[in-house]
Structure 1
Amino acid sequence: MKKKRIFMVSYGGGHVNIIKSIYHELRKERNVDLIYLALTSAPLQLQGTDINYITASDILEWLPYRDEVEKLGKLYGAPFHNYQLGVSLEDTVAYYGIGIYDLIQKYGTTIAKKRFEEDGRKAFLPIGTMENILQCINPDCCVITASPRMEMATGIAADKLNIPVVRVNDLPICNELEHDCILCVMNEWAKTYAIQKAGVPEKKIRVTGQPIFEENEKINNNWITEFKESAVKYNYTVVFFAENGKNQTEEIDAIYEIAEQMKNVLFIIKLHPNQQMESFQKSNQKNVWVKKEPAKNYLQVAHLVITTFSTTGMEAAIKGIPLIEIKFKRERYPIEYIEMGIACLAENKSQLFNEIRLLLDKSSDEYKELMFSSKAFDFVSNASANICSVIKEQC
């Protein structure tokens, strides 16, 4: 039986984690040939794994204009290369070179240069190059996530070549699709959003779950046991997930003041890896702990989660944990959990205290109403297997 060739593309961060899970699941199939293009920081996250991948510099061998790409990459990309990140110079040169080359082919050198000066990498959408790559690889199906630039270009190029595309959304919200595909979404809420807000035909959507959330369920049980032993004198655990790059002094101060009034509650301030512990440790209050361990650990022990727009808010709702969206500055967030119906709002310290009190009480109307409205956000299990079934249907 001829093997089905599947071409997968992703950037780093959460996107590579989605593809990793799908890759491992697909590899269980004997008649599948996998080619994974790992972009920018993705190779760094794949080091030490058993996943085979190619990078931006590897695909240059398939391009008849390789020399021109390398020349442009050295001119435009090399100045932006950051040696401290660990990404190879060759990959930076190739990535920028491909982006600039396609930009020039579409707009000409003058306009392409201006677009790059104004938008940087955001100006890239190398559809032409990805058409060339796909014609060389000749896949039966392409798998991408919702990232822009080269992932999006892969979807558009595949569509033009009549190659089926499976796109896995990392978030429950999405924009209008730029190409034909089967869209894999995390839950019923995301499906409804895609239909009503993004205009995606229902027949093109599959509710599969989200692999990242399943990976986050994998946690050392010893950690949970040790945590519960150390927190045994507290009746509840409330976790505030801080947002990197935002001044949250007012919110942190409010949590410390509320903790003074709720001695039977343990408050965890969970920091982003880039945040400094010293900035958040305000006093020696025994029922406020500032931590940097993985977020997934604290989602296993939380009775209530507080955040702004961290994706941990979605994970909390999926796990059936009550969620408070804290909004002291009244600003709009990239993801609005209130509008999704999966959170209660706290716009000041007094409101935050009241919401904490109500949502820790499972008999309260507030708790019952939130759990009911969050029902469409229920967890969908076996996400990787579900997505792989969709991929196999398309091959």
Structure 2
Amino acid sequence: MMLKFTKLTSWIFILTISVKEGLVEGKTTTKAVNKAIIKTIKVEKEEIIDCYDIYKQPSLNHSLLSNHTIQIRPSFFPEGTKSDNLGTLRLTQTWHKYGSCPEGTIPIRRKGKNYNPTLLRKHHYPRLSHYNTLVTSQSKDIIDDYMVHEYAMIGVQGNFFGGQAKINLWKPFTETNEMSLSQIWVAAGEYKDVNTIEVGWHVYHGMYGDDQTRFFIYWTTDNYLSSGCYNLLCHGFVHTTSDISLGCNFTEVSTFNGDQKDATFSIRKDQSSGHWWVQLQGIPIGYYPGDLFTELSKTATSVQWGGEIVDGKSKGRHTSTQMGSGHLPSEGGLKTSSYFNWVQVFDENNRIKDPENVGKEVTNPNCYGLKIDNDHYATNGYGFYYGGPGYNFKCQ
């Protein structure tokens, strides 16, 4: 009886400690982790930002990064970059109103109460039928756990050191447990060996518990089977800036027939270090070390830009989850449909240039669309309008 009581007491003690520990994107805040946290910022709706010592960030616990030396800033300065391409957004996230992280630290958003580890995995890599590499017989039926992924996107193939674009920010409606995102994919490899790095914005209630428009990144080395994750939900991405937090929401988004907000998102390989850097509005956020990847260890063989939604068909019909602004390009251009402007690639000669031989994929044109914008090249560069409402009288 005494033995059972001792065991019970031990379990209660362990449980008590576990409850008191806060969850952080990357790992649990144990005593060792707490020593790495220099400052904690409490944000609205129970959101918490921990300012980690940059040299003690959880990602460095990845088995491939045990002896990693942090690169504080990228070494590249590609020819052809224009300072006026950085979007209309005065870059702020909600947590900025409540404090700032000191120099030498990085902001990490704690996992919320609704954190679900199954969300570490994403979906299949979208294939452009233009390249005859479509995996399924029906392009819209790219299914993951009974969820249909639909796309309106463009892409190129070749050898690249990255891509970027100015992406219009919106807050689309999403049905329960579904998501809507707009992003850039940089990828290499085929089938189970697909490596991707992804950056953009998304609305994902299942991950965050709200409908806010949030900055996100993603990576995988095995076509989403067992590696990679969103943001810092697993080790790998080395965060370097104290100004921007992954998984946090933007304070401003576009309004229908009103002010338009956009921001420049970029994925770029540093040829000196081999790391893949993520930038937002020209700010280096951090990087994925080259050692994490197999197929992306040299160059990307494809770059894609566009929108994506997940359709769970929970109501026995097509979802009403919106893509982009929720309006089709056929309904109008600027201030109506969402857009990508200044769509560009980084080539192997460290030059930034327009994409060539562009492929296009719209998996369900009755629900979501895409139209290349040929009328505003002089002011907006290569770009396109995309998005749609989902369920409507044509989209069943």
Shorter-normalised TM-score: what interval? under 0.3
Q: Compare CA radii of gyration and give the structure with the larger one.
A: 1
* Larger proportion of helix: 1
Larger RCO, structure (CA 8 Å, separation 6 or more) = 2
Bigger strand share: 2
TM-score (norm 2): 0.24
TM-score, normalised on structure 1?
0.24
